[in-house]
Amino acid sequence: MKKFKKKVSSEPKIPTASLPDIIFLLLIFFMVTTVLKRYTGLQVALPSAEAIEKLESRRHISYIWIGPGGRISIDDKIVTKDRINLVGALMYDKRSADPQLVVSLKIDKEVEMQNVTGIHEQLRRADALRVNYATLFRKTN
């Protein structure tokens, strides 16, 4: 009988030399996609709706908050009702800087509509016509 040669068992090793490269790649991906939260805004209870759409890119979104009582906040600055023209001026600058601007309106569900239409008017004046009413998702049936 022939003798079998003993196989030389090499120690199993996972190659770790390329590990930093892989992690670097992941890191760069997350660095590029991260948009850090810029503004805190106001505490609002958003309404819920069913037929909602996702907004694609956070980079082109600008937020306007309207809290209960009609307090307006843009970029963490409170805009009082008698100086609502500021909204138009601010949004005009933003719209000029970014033609793809989408304005996300985070409005409390108890807010009276006269405040909302005031904002509409300002946005129209600023030519920032793409709006999105921020809502929560709720399936009705």
Q: How many residues of this chain interact with another protein, rule: CB under 8 A?
A: 53
The answer to whether residue 40 forms part of the interface with another protein (CB under 8 A) is no
The answer to whether residue 34 forms part of the interface with another protein (CB under 8 A) is yes
Q: How far apart are CA 8 and CA 85, in angstroms?
A: 82
Instruction: Tell me which residue of 83, 77, 92 sits closest to 41, measured CA to CA.
Output: 77
Instruction: Tell me which residue of 56, 54, 49, 47 sits closest to 116, measured CA to CA.
Output: 47
Least distance in angstroms from the C-beta of 3 to another protein = 44
Q: How far apart are CA 122 and CA 116, in angstroms?
A: 10
Contacts with another protein by CB under 8 A lie at 16, 19-20, 23-24, 26-27, 30-31, 33-34, 36-37, 47, 49-56, 58, 61, 66, 102, 104-105, 107-114, 116-117, 120, 123-125, 127, 129-137, 140
